[in-house]
Amino acid sequence: MLCLKKIKIEPLDIEGLAKNENEAIEQRIERLLAQWEFTPYLAGQCVRCRGVDCVHFIASIYDELTGKEYRHTKLPQDAAFHNKQEAEKNTRRFFKMYPCSPVEGGIVQPGDIVICGPVGKNGGPGHGMIVGVSSLWHVDSKCVCKAGLAVMQKGAYAFKQIRRLKDRSIMFRRLYG
């Protein structure tokens, strides 16, 4: 029997911001995600309409939302399957660049990250998706596309965790700066 982690998207709710300000940020997130739609999958790359992988896709969105720009090292495509420690180390490095907190449960907001990866003792984080207004966005084996709101609990890309930017008000300052 297939086990799924069901995710529910709720409206963005950044403390201290009015509903219309949160909605403006949601719209910005969705526009940024849509700009990458159909960009082909290409490991280790980050050029809109030319090629991107999941880490660089999420990083490019976070760079736009936070006003930062980081260079990310390329890992072997199968690191999550064979080198759990290296995959976890790079995930920690990513979350130092973009400080995030874990989110418990399955309720997410636009801009959150859903981390997946293979199960088992050697399985590390291996795939990331970013939450849009009504769907998850990710880079599949072909291109950047929307995904559904259920993530497998077993297999090669099982649910691992949800993360949320610690200082989400930076998205507001960046939009209205």
pLDDT digits (tens, 9 = 90+) for 48-94: 999 999 889 999 999 999 998 877 666 555 554 456 777 788 888 88
pTM score of the predicted model: 0.90
The closest of 176, 41, 42, 65 to 113, measured between CA atoms, is 65
| For range 16-40, the mean pLDDT | 97
Question: What pLDDT does residue 80 have?
Answer: 46
71, with CB counted inside 10 A (0-12, 13-18, 19+), is: exposed
pLDDT digits (tens, 9 = 90+) for 148-170: 888 877 776 788 899 999 999 99
Which segment of 2-11, 80-89, 114-123, 130-139 scores lowest on mean pLDDT?
80-89
Place of tokens 């976890």: 88
Q: Does domain 4-176 have CATH number 3.90.1720.10?
A: yes
Question: What pLDDT does residue 83 have?
Answer: 67
Which segment of 41-50, 101-110, 152-161 scores lowest on mean pLDDT?
152-161
CB atoms within 10 A of CB 172: 18
- Radius of gyration of the chain from its Cα atoms, rounded to whole angstroms: 15
Question: What pLDDT does residue 30 have?
Answer: 97
Share of the chain above pLDDT 70, in %: 90
Which segment of 22-26, 85-89, 140-144 scores lowest on mean pLDDT?
85-89
The chain-wide mean pLDDT, for the chain, equals 87
Question: What pLDDT does residue 26 have?
Answer: 97
